[in-house]
Amino acid sequence: MRDVAVIGIGMTSFGELWETPLRSLWAEAALAALDNAGIDSVDLVTIGCMSSGLFTGQEHLASLLADELGMAGVPATRVESACASGGLAVRAGFAEVASGLCDTVLVTGVEKMTDVDGADATYALGTAADAEWEGFHGVTFPGLYAMLARIHMQKYGTTREQLARVAVKNHANGLLNPHAQYHLKVTVQDVVNSTLVADPLCLLDCSPVTDGAAALVLTTAERAREIAGDKPVVVITGSGMATDTVTLANRADLAELGAVKLAGERAYAMARRKPEDIHLVEVHDCFTIAEIMATEALGFFNPGFGGSAVEKGLTSLQGKIPVNTSGGLKSKGHPVGATGVAQVVEIVSQLRGEAGQRQVQGAKIGMAQNMGGSGGSSVVHILEVV
Ligand code: COA
């Protein structure tokens, strides 16, 4: 396998972007990444997108978007794994460069979610659950994660306040990110007093519905070093993917995210790293409980200790392992197909020392963890400055 480097990053602002069509959002992020890389042609385009059909009525996305960039003729592939579609697009691009099939890949993720109303967005998102055994009976994603939260609270004593503290931290980080959907300081009281969505989760425990796109340019580490001159080169040293039961009722332990654990173990093995080596991590905090469970599954804290870690400040910007410096899905926003790519954009910015006010000093090794549905799939990448 060849070493693979990230030489370009780009993203749009995240938010309710009613004036901007899907193709323009995507092109803005793609052009920003190509410009950042200083190149204008690639061998392949990968696109992570969960449900452009249901959200915008547009399918056949890969060809449409390649053409939007004047790249008709270039191979283009759309990949889908619900909210992990972006992470999977990163992994698909990584595999193409590592294997030698392509030298340079434009990896992108996009979702335009606010062209439909809230009920239709909830329906579209709900298609990532088990349609027959969950969706048909009326359960939504806030409902599924509320069940995971209740079980985690019952098994480990995780508290309502600990859940709220995830939102408080991520909104504080989001205040420092110009691309974030919400620039909003919130307190524990704000979170627990916000509208109840699915007990125990309130509005401020949930990621929002978001429009946005993100992009990366990948090439061989060898070429990256030639281009970079004296600038740091960021290499993807580990890539892991795993699946789990989509149906929660079939899962062996509902207090654990098995796909995250497995994907993490695979990424650690490939990178020859362990949790103690990681300087910062972006995890998939689609709901506050998801961040707590992801940090446990990735080995940063023992099972049951993710909640107290947030409470002690271990995951804050100055903490032992800063989690979601970008503001996470909670504050930065969650355009589902774009999220996995945007997480890698944040890690690369941090490793390059370009994260501004939210910079983690001395960050050299970072991780991005993206998740589909209620944990039915997960993709984990480890990136390092070499
Ligand atoms: N966090 C913070 N503020 C939020 C928010 C969120 N998650 N969602 C909405 N808001 C704000 C809006 O900006 C709006 O503020 P305003 O009145 O100042 O303009 C207000 O709350 C009402 O917004 P609205 O769009 O009417 O909310 P809603 O009730 O239709 O939707 C949720 C709220 C939580 C149901 C929706 O955001 C949701 O479904 N989130 C989960 C998305 C999801 O499942 N993703 C996949 C995860 S696997």
Is residue 348 lining ligand 1, measured as CB closer than 6 Å? Answer: no
> Residue 183: what pLDDT?
98
**Active-site entry in 49, 83, 202, 286:** 83
Helix axes 118-126, 141-156, angle to 10 degrees: 60
What region does 327 belong to: left with phi over 0, alpha with psi -120 to 50, or beta?
Answer: left
| % residues pLDDT > 90 (the chain) | 99
User: Which residue bears the tokens 């899907």?
Assistant: 22
Q: Where in the chain is the domain with CATH 3.40.47.10?
A: 4-117+209-227, 138-206+236-385
- Average confidence (pLDDT) over 109-129: 97
Q: For residue 11, how far is its CA from the centre of ligand 1 (angstroms)?
A: 22
Q: For residue 350, how far is its CA from the centre of ligand 1 (angstroms)?
A: 28
For atom 30 of ligand 1, which residue has the closest CA? 118
Is residue 83 flagged as an active site residue?
A: yes
Instruction: Decide if pLDDT at 225 tops 90.
Output: yes
Asked whether 351 and 236 are in contact (CB, 8 A), the reply is: no
Local confidence band at 228 (pLDDT 50, 70, 90 cut-offs): confident
For the stretch 258-282, pLDDT in tens is 999 999 999 999 999 999 999 999 9
138-206+236-385 adopts what CATH topology? Peroxisomal Thiolase; Chain A, domain 1 (3.40.47)
Instruction: Decide if pLDDT at 121 tops 90.
Output: yes
Across the chain, mean pLDDT equals 98
Q: For residue 209, how far is its CA from the centre of ligand 1 (angstroms)?
A: 6
Is residue 85 lining ligand 1, measured as CB closer than 6 Å? Answer: no
- Of 194, 209, 336, the one to substitute when testing ligand 1's pocket (max ligand atoms within 8 A of C-beta) is 209
Instruction: Decide if pLDDT at 366 tops 90.
Output: yes
For atom 48 of ligand 1, which residue has the closest CA? 373
Instruction: Decide if pLDDT at 362 tops 90.
Output: yes
> Residue 144: what pLDDT?
98
For the stretch 290-347, pLDDT in tens is 999 999 999 999 999 999 999 999 999 999 999 999 999 999 999 999 999 999 999 9
Q: Going by C-beta distance under 8 Å and a sequence separation of 6 or more, which residues neighbour residue 323? A: 169, 280, 281, 282, 283, 291, 295, 300, 315
Instruction: Decide if pLDDT at 231 tops 90.
Output: no
Instruction: Decide if pLDDT at 230 tops 90.
Output: no
Pick the CATH number of 4-117+209-227 from 3.40.1640.10, 3.40.50.150, 1.10.645.10, 3.40.47.10: 3.40.47.10
Longest Cα pair distance anywhere in the chain, in angstroms? 58
Beta strand 234-243 pairing with 76-79: unpaired
What ranges in the chain are assigned the alpha helix state H? 22-37, 52-56, 61-68, 85-99, 118-126, 141-156, 160-174, 188-193, 221-228, 258-271, 288-297, 306-311, 328-332, 336-352
Is residue 206 lining ligand 1, measured as CB closer than 6 Å? Answer: yes
Q: Going by C-beta distance under 8 Å and a sequence separation of 6 or more, which residues neighbour residue 296? A: 256, 257, 302, 303, 304, 305, 306
Local confidence band at 229 (pLDDT 50, 70, 90 cut-offs): confident
Burial of 207 (0-12, 13-18, 19+ CB in 10 A): buried
Q: For residue 205, how far is its CA from the centre of ligand 1 (angstroms)?
A: 10
DSSP states of 46-87 as a string?
Answer: EEE-S-HHHHHS---HHHHHHHHTT-TTS-EEEE-BTBTHHH
For the stretch 17-34, pLDDT in tens is 999 999 999 999 999 999
> Residue 129: what pLDDT?
98
For the stretch 185-212, pLDDT in tens is 999 999 999 999 999 999 999 999 999 9
Is residue 203 lining ligand 1, measured as CB closer than 6 Å? Answer: yes
Asked whether 242 and 370 are in contact (CB, 8 A), the reply is: no
Asked whether 200 and 167 are in contact (CB, 8 A), the reply is: no
> Residue 232: what pLDDT?
87
